[in-house]
Structure 1
């Protein structure tokens, strides 16, 4: 009886093994269905793109557009993860994060790059670029190329420039029509010796502070005002905590789009071409759309708020420009004589005061 059971068990085990072998062989001969979403996931290139402004701003929209173009042109092989509003790093931290490789792309305001290259201060000079055309010529021409070359160190690669627009002045102590109207006021600026000096010449105290702290400090009264583009004033709702806006066009706010150099070197030729083509298309769109966006958002501010808007005449802007002319002389040596010469020529060409 025991022998019979043993034989039966052996037969059952043998049958099971035979079935498994047959099934396994048959399985290897057919192609199994595969989830297309997982195809090549191990080969996907992921680019973390950190910035500190809202998504509904020229930079925020450009970053989204770039990510979409890259995804389309690479068929999903390259993914750009955009982290807005300082969600990953503050505007004081993102530059070092890029150098370390903790993020692959950033687009800091050009003002912040003075710590890497003092030449970038040329874009902060008051009334340097009097109109849209002069800005595009500066950024896409010799001045812009010189600036991008000057940061080819510290593991950074300058790709292009994106624009936001002209800067204006907001305050709770106004109206501000002439430089002396700012006397005794404390204003938020981006950390910059050039910006600090120009407001000192108007009798104001300029304080370099993180962009995302500004609303709270304006609301509490620790700051009297700030300078910014219409787009940033609108997206951060500074008009809710400010009573006066002076439409001065006294300065320019733009961004240098930068990639981590080590990361760039690891990319294939095809991947670099996809990124370069996508960036070119995004930049062309941004450099037109950003100025239109500022115009539209000024209209929305007028409609949605009670802030008093004072637009400087050409004669009034000439007074401001003359007041701030010493800034040009003070920073010429630091910026470089040749670069300053090019900017002066550009200013004269497009309507020097």
Structure 2
């Protein structure tokens, strides 16, 4: 009996020591726990903790618990936070080149967008993060953005005229909606539901999964599948923290993030049609653009793209457009 008790005590001590010595990786992001991003990060957590045999402990903080995206990124830069997952557009505050990723109507499909960010040009973009004291671990989907509103279905640019549409605080997004005769109204994500409910804005634009998980469709009469912008998240890690890891541990983290990316795509592909059906069942009308209607939107937003070509430089802009063209030609 004494031997059993002693063995149990030794096991408990070993477990305690193991837990105490685990390296903590705190990850902040702005989405809620139902969103596919959070569930993909839970897969990342499981893989990292399991495959490292408890060497790492991943703690995930959703719903901007660690602050809004800019504050989270700054926290990672300073080392106060090990990791953040934020939209690529936020990194343009330090390097304007990141603006090219989220320009309107540049990707012919989400698949082409995903191939573009995972191309050599996408890797080159991630390499720019080193100048911000960050390391990019890959690309995760934020989603294809669509418009919802309470006034009418959006089938042509004239349908946006006079509507106050909440956008992200991203200049390219603001310029896009203003160029389409809407009144772009930048606003923090956490304020959107109440703003829609109270009529502060007429509508908003977000991926289907966000419209569903945040229940925006409950306070909107129309969802129009405009697909005007495709957005991505970039999981970033503090540079010094990354450099402190062994090559094997770095590979483990990158492989786990690739697994999270794959899992996220499984979730999106399985759930998006069901989410659209939920909108319809709630009484929200859903419409899609025809190719001719989409072309009208593309032509109307050309000045926005050209303005960013001048702002970012032809080298950055043209290289990204070439990567999109190459990715679009892949089967």
TM-score when normalising by structure 2: 0.91
1:233 pairs with 2:211 = yes
Query: For residue 91 of structure 1, what is the aligned residue in structure 2?
Result: 69
Following superposition, the deviation at residue 289 of structure 1 comes to: 3.7
Following superposition, the deviation at residue 71 of structure 1 comes to: 0.9
**Structure 1: how far apart are the matches of 2:21 and 2:315?**
46
Following superposition, the deviation at residue 254 of structure 1 comes to: 1.3
Larger radius of gyration: 1
Gaps of 5+ in 2: none
Query: For residue 133 of structure 2, what is the aligned residue in structure 1?
Result: 155
1:269-348 paired onto structure 2 within 5 Å: 269-303=247-281, 305-348=282-325
| Alpha-carbon contact 2:19-2:54 (below 8 Å) kept | no
2:10 aligns to what SS in structure 1? coil
| Alpha-carbon contact 1:91-1:210 (below 8 Å) kept | no
**Structure 1: how far apart are the matches of 2:269 and 2:185?**
27
Gaps of 5+ in 1: 1-26
1:189 pairs with 2:167 = yes
CA distances 1:100-152 after superposition (whole Å, capped 9, x unpaired)? 22211111011212112211111211111121321122111033112111221
1:69 pairs with 2:47 = yes
Query: For residue 3 of structure 1, what is the aligned residue in structure 2?
Result: none
Query: For residue 104 of structure 2, what is the aligned residue in structure 1?
Result: 126
Structure 1 residues 72, 322: CA separation in 2 closer, same or farther (over 3 Å shift)? same
1:169 aligns to what SS in structure 2? strand
Following superposition, the deviation at residue 225 of structure 1 comes to: 0.9
**Structure 2: how far apart are the matches of 1:207 and 1:151?**
29
Query: For residue 201 of structure 2, what is the aligned residue in structure 1?
Result: 223
**Structure 2: how far apart are the matches of 1:188 and 1:77?**
43
**Structure 2: how far apart are the matches of 1:122 and 1:67?**
30
| Alpha-carbon contact 1:71-1:78 (below 8 Å) kept | yes
Candidates 244, 263, 268, aligned match of 2:222: 244
TM-score when normalising by structure 1: 0.85
Query: For residue 11 of structure 2, what is the aligned residue in structure 1?
Result: 34
| Alpha-carbon contact 2:22-2:57 (below 8 Å) kept | yes
**Structure 1: how far apart are the matches of 2:79 and 2:232?**
23
Following superposition, the deviation at residue 346 of structure 1 comes to: 4.9
- Using the TM superposition, name which of 131-140 and 293-302 deviates more: 293-302
**Structure 1: how far apart are the matches of 2:279 and 2:55?**
41
